[in-house]
Amino acid sequence: MTIYSIYVLSKAGGLIFNCDQNIPKIELEKTFSYPLPYKLVFENNRIVVSFGQRDGIKVGHSLLAINGIAVTGKQLDDGRDALKVLEDPEQYPISLKFGWPRLSTNEKIFLASMFYPLFAIASQLSPEPRSSGIEVLETSSYRLHCYQTLTGVKFLAVVDPRQTGVDALLRRLHELYADFALKNPFYSLEMPIRCELFDTHVRSALEQAERLGVANV
Partner 1 sequence: MNRSVDPKKVNSELFTLTYGALVVQLLNDLESVEEVNKQLDRMGYNIGVRLVEDFIARTSADKCYDLRETADKIQAGFRLYLGVSPSVGGWGPAGDEFSLTLDSNPLAEFVELPETCSNMRYSAILPGIVRGACEMVHLEVTSWFVQDQLRGDPVTELRVKFVKRLEDSVPPGED
Q: Which residues bind partner 1 (CB under 8 A)?
A: 11, 119-120, 122-124, 130-134, 148-153, 171, 174-175, 177-179, 182-183, 189
Give least dist CB 91 to partner 1, A: 54
CB 9 within 8 A of CB 109: no
Return the number of the residue (62 or 148) whose C-beta is nearest partner 1: 148
Phi, psi of 213 (to 5 degrees): -60, -40
Q: Where do the H-state alpha helices sit in the chain?
A: 82-87, 105-125, 166-176, 196-216
Task: Report the nearest approach of partner 1 to the CB of residue 95 (Å).
Answer: 50
d(C-alpha 208, C-alpha 211), whole Å: 5
Residue 56 or 117: which CB sits closer to partner 1? 117
> Do you know the residue count of the chain?
217
With H, G, I as helix, E, B as strand and everything else as coil, classify residue 154.
strand
Q: Nearest approach, Cβ of 16 to partner 1 (angstroms)?
A: 13
Do the Cβ atoms of 38 and 56 come closer than 8 Å?
no
Of the pair 49, 144, the CB lying nearest partner 1 is at 144
Whole-number minimum distance, CB 189 to partner 1, in Å?
7
Cα angle: 70, vertex 74, 79; to 5 degrees: 65
**Of 38 and 119, which has the nearer Cβ to partner 1?**
119
